[in-house]
Chains A and B, each alone.
Chain A
């Protein structure tokens, strides 16, 4: 009884104390909280009433208050039934707030949550893309397992939605569904696979995020999309960029061979070259030659580089880590400046960036050394920033800069932030061990610090000196003596212990002093800290072994003191030592070895960076920052010894791309061009990124605005569909006017062009790369693309890009001269993506449009379809590193109308730069060639695209000429296919028939051919024909009759092709032309092409 009373009393007292402690406001607030709980209950009642009222404003007020409750973390789940009723409200804000509530509480109230589902299902069918998207967003955020099938269905549908925004939402929903139900993985991967093929920049980031979350190991899904992702990267929103870059880093590490090993070898050879003769150097370089970076690897590096200029620090960091993990060693340096720039950012950003720099600077001092001053500590920095900077400065220290760094460190030691001062002393210790030249200086400096007034500084110095002495056996006795002198004034236990340990370890060097120190310790033993006591016991034991005469009694005294110490560690240690050193009756066996045990030479502690072991984590990752493997961390694999098949990326990438190609896009785009971009911009594009429109290829050269408009095309397809034809045609005419305008400006600027040209090699480079891949891509697209055949027509009217120039020619044909120079550095029309979705109805509209645009007069026009078949001109083995490929861009040659334009891509695959590449002698001597300007210098790995004009005189005789470099000459020959000697010509059906009538008899060749079944659709036919010959499509009123028209380049003779379909996939192919030889050759080629599947 009494105890309980007592207990109560105590409790009461405690409560009183508590109440006393808590000042008035808190006590009142607890009271208020009490009331609140009560009131909450009531309040919720009135909230319910408000929600059930008819007034929107009351409902809204109620929802606002509920959201406030949620924000404060209070439970409002009992209102669920009342809230969920408002899910279909017309008021947008009310609806949004209901969504917020629903997402928060649906998990807890699953049954009731189901009530809202039908609303979302309905909204998923809404014609407005934003409503569809938001419905999917909320639906997928409701974590209720029962609706998994519904979600799955919705995601599948949304992933095929026309609006990229909805598809983006679908990508987000994938992750949500996956975290709700992992069993859906397989199905979700299918959706991811589909969405990965998506061309929209909006979708790219989100779907890669989903990929990373759901199936990061399915690297095979990336192959086909790799190049597209690289090319889109610049235009993806910044958050998506981060995700894509880190995924691509991982991808690249599995797919490409290491660019580093050869590098190391290269360095060696360079070094050797210093000493050896030139011939030796050459040999070595040949040896180092075999490593050639995969063009895809290069593509990634090139396309990420501009992102170093991003304002988003996460993007910059992720590019930096990409370069760190993937780039050849000598290229990594370009990230330095950007990383240093990030140091100007917020504290938290600095923290992460410095951590990464610390890891980098261990391996690559040179990278950051020029920026050493950026790592100087400022008094306003927070402690962890200071320590990181210190770490980096220490890593950067070398013989050359150590004096500057030490001077800087001196000021840090005096810092008021003592933890930082201590860290500085540690850093000085590290510098001293790393750089032997300054060891003595550092040691002296540290000894001076021993007289510092601040305890922590002294203690840290002692500890560091101890470590240094262990590594530096010389001149220790002087310092030990000095430390012994200071021993009395040092109070920090760790420091005292360190001195004692040193005395013991080197007691033979200071035979007079050590026993005296032990004597002093014996006096104060009981008052010391544990760690000091332990070291005293150690010292005693060591002295006993070396100098037992003087110290025997002292040792015994200390051991006795230790035996009765309060701390069991010390008692244990004492007992152990006693058994070890003092020979006794039973335990003599060990004492023989006592000396060897206690006085064994001890390995010196290694003073190294705390960031030493962090480099196995991917830089910039959470794991790296914490130095722990974080959940979900994906290891970076090592480089494969042999690169996996690179063709996996080649083939299919083109296909989805082609499917998208839109004509719509083009029209729309130029519309937006004229709307958003100034004329100036337009002609800049003409000059700079060049007429052949590599911008559309969305290769690296695509400007942000440019592909921005691409994405717009897609997003607005929907609206586009509904817009009227007339609107479209007007936009097209708008386009042509705007282009003619820009044409004029271009002319004015022609003078500038040559300089421009020089500054452009990267662009040319990029496109040539693209072309390197062309053959395969082309093959696939020409063989397997019956489904997307519509494109041929579509491109026909409003064109894929290469013809863009020609169109201009058409508009102002006299201005050709001004374009001449431009063409010189025109990158090849690339086979790269030309995105768009095309509905067939739209297509026909556009067809109409193009017809109305073209006058009935027969003119040379753009080619409707430009397959790019690249042929080898010079193999790099025969060309001693210089390789050349050529293809026919199918543009009118601007040098002379009778010439066929040829583009040659010169690539330097040797390891030294090639100079003065030009065209030498030719045969037959009469051959009329317009050569490209001499290329002064081509760096290793670089490539350049040049244009030539060759007059083949309408014969397929090969043009032979020499390709010369400064040292060598190589004989090459260009053999044109007969179809390339023709220029497309546009004419109406009537004109066609009229002209055909004139070319009968001898001028007509015809044959009945059997066609592959796949080629029977009209799209497929045009496609096949156009792939063989550079002719123009003549629109036909008859379904089974296809007509194509062209003119030979040199003489301008008409070439008319007509194909009449008959039963069972046979057809009559007729060619009318004056040039009968060409006619028969063309017939043979066409026959072959159409027979192929």
Chain B
């Protein structure tokens, strides 16, 4: 399966290599670099590349390419999914997954990779098991280690690998038992110039942070489970129970995990929480363009729209923009032509707007396309689909846990199409 792994940074240096079978020369990456050169954008490097003797499957995360070398037929998604798990694990361990973080923790990285794959076949990918095997480095632990000479590697043998619930480590103990669930929904939408919705859909996840002693068995039920159209579960969820009763019943992993991701059925109309009025014009022959953009809340059920960020890729002909925001700050990068406007919170009484002029390259013809506008926002304490958790119960343990549920709506890929 996976033969070797190379980590390549943005400037094209291989800064880590790991082989699970016999060593593959790093020159195999040349094919990758070739493809990288051909691609205009870093994202455009094809994820699957064929070379005479190997196949390269790569994943780009945090500006690092994770290039896996494959020697024979294997489902590409298998490798891709695994690579993403590797990245997730690194992030989990080091907080960030950057070149520096990886270089600083080479030994831990190596130990992790060693445990995650055996002969190229995934062995332990559950973070709970891995954490039992290799303790994540914390500042405190690093200090203690340097002083006492103890190690990151777990002293006990990982029994989790053998347990009934491989995703949960054994012998968990907390003084404060708490379980938090975040229902986070994202709206993907494309809105056309007249403000009508071309597509809109809601995707949601329930992320959990569970810190409970022992082996708790939780059930989570919804007020309106019918909303959930298509779901995918963490392996801990008992599928049968969901099929029969629409109740999530599970023994949670310890710590943070994604319990569920779902798609809200398309029959339901999607409420669009913000609207954008924009008027971006270029006149033929003039080297000036006008830019006028106003945002406003819409169907927010009285909740405030926060952390609003508007970004737009302006046409290549635009040299600079001098704009005047009614609130927040804006930046325009003359090289990438990316305009971003950090709006902050939308005040319904005084709608935020961004107005001004853009200077165009002299003599250049009028750009024939107006830019798309991407919007990001957050709305706290609301799940836009109306999904509500009914109750959370715990069985199997005696103590009373502290339970909390938080709702949030975010913009996913929220776009306003160009006017013309």
Give min CB distance, A834 to chain B, whole Å: 17
A411 and B215: CB pair below 8 A? no
B73 adjacent to A676 (CB under 8 Å): no
Contacts of B261 in A (CB 8 A): 311, 341, 344
A715 touching B313 in the complex, CB below 8 Å, given contacts A344-B203, A454-B368:
no
Flag if A107 contacts B231 (CB, 8 Å): no
B415 within 8 A of A: yes
Q: Which chain B residues numbered 175 to 218 have a C-beta less than 8 Å away from chain A? A: 190, 198-199, 201, 203, 215, 217
Asked if B240 and A351 make an inter-chain contact with CB atoms under 8 angstroms apart, the answer reads no
Indicate whether B43 reaches chain A with its CB closer than 8 angstroms.
yes
Of the candidates A96, A622, A715, A760, the one having the most CB atoms from chain B within 10 angstroms of its own CB is A622
Residue in chain B with minimal CB distance to A682 = B395
Across the interface, do A414 and B368 meet the contact criterion of CB distance under 8 Å? yes
Q: Check A96 against B55 for contact (C-beta < 8 Å).
A: no
A610 within 8 Å of B (CB atoms):
no
User: Is the beta-carbon distance between B420 and A622 smaller than 8 angstroms?
Assistant: no
Residues of B within 8 A of A621 (CB): 73, 75-76
Contact A349 B77 (CB under 8 A): yes
Interface residues of B in 120-178 (CB under 8 A from A): 121-123, 125, 149, 151-155, 157-159, 161-166
Interface 9-mer from B91-99, B109-117, B323-331, B379-387: B109-117
Q: Closest CB of chain B to A704's CB: distance in Å?
A: 6
Judge whether B278 is part of the interface by a CB distance below 8 angstroms.
Answer: no
Q: Would you give the shortest CB distance from A842 to chain B, in whole angstroms?
A: 19
Which stretch in A371-379, A460-468, A489-497, A785-793 binds the other chain? A371-379
- B240-260 interface code vs A (CB 8 A; 1 in, 0 out): 110111000101000000100
CB pair A378–B413 under 8 Å, yes or no, is: yes
Task: Say yes or no: A352 contacts B48, CB within 8 Å.
Answer: yes
- Residue B283 interfacial (CB < 8 Å): no
Contact of B75 among A318, A348, A626 (CB under 8 A): A318
- Asked whether B217 lies within 8 Å of A71 as measured between CB atoms, the reply is no
- How many whole Å from A821's CB to the nearest CB in chain B? 16
Flag A441-468 by CB within 8 Å of B: 1 or 0 each: 0000000000011100000000000000
Residues from chain B with a CB closer than 8 A to the CB of A104 are 19, 23
Residue from the list A71, A179, A246, A414 in contact with B418, Cβ < 8 A: A414
Residues of A within 8 A of B57 (CB): 348
Chain B proximity of A351: nearest CB distance (Å) = 5
B26 touches A73 (CB 8 A): yes
Within 8 A of B (CB), among A601-644: 620-623, 625-626, 628, 630-634
What residue in chain A is nearest B14 (Cβ atoms)? A73
B118: interface (CB < 8 Å): yes
Write out the residue numbers on chain B whose beta carbons fall within 8 Å of the beta carbon of A169.
118
* Cα distance A681–B155 in the bound complex, in angstroms: 35
Are B72 and A631 touching (Cβ within 8 A)? Answer: yes
A1051 at the interface (CB under 8 A from B): no
In the bound complex, residues from chain A placing their C-beta under 8 Å from that of B21 are 143, 176, 179
**In the bound complex, CA of A679 to CA of B217 (Å):** 10
B34, CB-defined interface residue at 8 Å: no
Contact of A379 among B41, B234, B313 (CB under 8 A): B313
Instruction: Let me know if A165 is at the binding interface, CB within 8 A.
Output: yes
Quick check: A703 and B313 within 8 Å, CB to CB?
no
> Which residues of A are found within 8 Å of B234, using beta-carbon distances?
311
Pair A676/B417 contact, Cβ less than 8 Å? no
Interface string of A50-77 (1 = CB under 8 A from B): 0000001100100010011011110000
Q: How far is the CA of A314 from the CA of B106 in the complex (A)?
A: 28
Number of interface residues of B (CB under 8 A): 109
Taking CB atoms, residues of chain A closer than 8 Å to B165 are: 676, 705, 708
Chain A 747-771 per-residue mask, 1 if CB under 8 angstroms from chain B, else 0: 0000000001001100000000000
**Chain A, residue nearest B17 (CB):** A73
A143 to B110, CA, bound (A): 20
Chain B residues whose CB sits within 8 angstroms of the CB of A715 once the complex forms? 162-163
Q: Are B233 and A239 in contact (CB under 8 A)?
A: no
- Cβ of A330 within 8 Å of any chain B Cβ, yes or no, is no
**Docked pose: A380 CA to B82 CA in angstroms:** 25
CA A630 to CA B74, docked complex, whole Å: 9
Q: Is B346 an interface residue (CB 8 A)?
A: no
- CB–CB A376/B80 < 8 A: no
Question: Does A238 belong to the interface (CB within 8 Å)?
Answer: yes
Flag whether B310 is at the interface (Cβ < 8 A). no
Asked if A622 meets B110 with Cβ closer than 8 Å, knowing A379-B313, A676-B164, the reply is no
- Judge if A128 is at the interface, Cβ distance under 8 Å: yes
Whether the Cβ atoms of B230 and A341 lie closer than 8 Å is yes
The main secondary structure of chain B at its interface with chain A is: mixed
- Chain B residues whose CB sits within 8 angstroms of the CB of A1055 once the complex forms: none
B232 interfacial by beta-carbon distance below 8 Å: yes
With A176-B119, A376-B190, A632-B72 already in contact, the answer to whether A626 and B55 are too (CB < 8 A) is: yes
CA distance A179 to B346 in the complex (A): 63
Interface string of A105-141 (1 = CB under 8 A from B): 0010000000000000000000011110000010011
| Residue among B83, B84, B157, B164 facing the most chain A CB atoms (10 A cut-off) | B164
Chain A residue with Cβ nearest B40: A383
Q: Which residues of A contact B417 (CB under 8 A)?
A: 411
* Contacting pair A384 B46 (CB below 8 A): yes
- Which B residues are CB-close (under 8 A) to A99? 114
Interfacial chain A residues near B164, Cβ < 8 Å? 672, 676, 705, 708-709, 711-712
Q: Is B399 an interface residue (CB 8 A)?
A: no
Interface residues as binary, A181-219 with B (CB distance below 8 Å gives 1, 0 otherwise): 000000000000000000000100010010000000000
Does B349 sit at the interface, judged by CB under 8 A?
no
**Looking at the complex, which one of A60, A209, A237 makes contact with B151 (CB distance below 8 Å)?**
A60
Interface status of A804 (Cβ within 8 A of chain B): no
Determine how close the nearest CB of chain A comes to the CB of B147; give it in whole angstroms.
Answer: 10
Per the bound structure, the CA–CA distance linking A107 and B114 in Å amounts to 18
Proximity bits, B357-378, A CB within 8 Å = 1, else 0: 0000000010011001010000
Q: Which residue of chain B is the closest to A669 with respect to CB atoms?
A: B164
Does A689 sit within 8 A of B, measured CB to CB?
Answer: yes
Instruction: List chain A residues, Cβ under 8 A from B163.
Output: 712, 715
Q: Do B107 and A68 touch (CB < 8 A)?
A: yes
Which residue from A140, A175, A306, A633 sits with its C-beta under 8 Å from B239? A306
Considering the complex, which residues of chain A in the window 564-604 have a beta carbon less than 8 Å from any beta carbon of chain B?
none
CB nearest neighbor in B for A678? B395
The answer for the CA separation of A452 and B165 in the assembled complex, in Å, is 62
Query: What chain A residues lie within 8 Å of B82 (beta carbons)?
Result: 239, 314
Interface: B286 (CB within 8 A): no
Q: Known A107-B22, A349-B77, A378-B415; judge A93-B240 contact (CB<8 A).
A: no
A996 to chain B, nearest CB (A): 46
The answer to whether A42 has its CB under 8 Å from any CB of chain B is no
B86: Cβ under 8 A from any A Cβ: no
Question: A346 contacts B84, CB within 8 Å?
Answer: yes
Chain A nearest Cβ from B151, distance in angstroms: 4
* Minimum CB–CB distance for B245 against chain A, Å: 8
B-chain residues with CB within 8 Å of residue A140 when the two chains form the complex: 119
Residues of chain A lying within 8 A (CB to CB) of residue B125? 239
B residues near A64, Cβ cutoff 8 Å: 107
Q: Which of A70, A340, A352 contacts B76 (CB 8 A)?
A: A352
In the complex, the answer to whether B217 meets A143 with C-beta atoms within 8 Å is no
CB–CB B153/A93 < 8 A: yes
- Asked whether A721 is an interface residue with its Cβ less than 8 Å from the other chain, the reply is no
Q: Are A688 and B118 in contact (CB under 8 A)?
A: no
Query: B268 within 8 Å of A by Cβ?
Result: no
Chain A nearest CB from B203 CB (Å) reads 5
Q: For the complex of A and B, list the 7 residue pairs with the smallest distance between their C-beta atoms, beginning with the closest.
A: A678-B395, A632-B72, A93-B153, A382-B43, A57-B149, A93-B151, A712-B164
A-B contact pairs, 22 of them (CB 8 A): A73-B17, A165-B162, A173-B119, A176-B21, A311-B232, A314-B81, A341-B232, A346-B61, A414-B418, A416-B313, A621-B75, A631-B71, A631-B72, A632-B71, A676-B215, A677-B395, A681-B217, A681-B395, A688-B240, A701-B240, A705-B164, A715-B163
- Besides A60-B151, A314-B81, A677-B395, 14 more A-B contacts (Cβ < 8 Å) are A93-B152, A97-B107, A104-B23, A176-B21, A337-B229, A348-B59, A349-B80, A380-B413, A411-B418, A416-B316, A452-B368, A676-B251, A680-B395, A705-B164
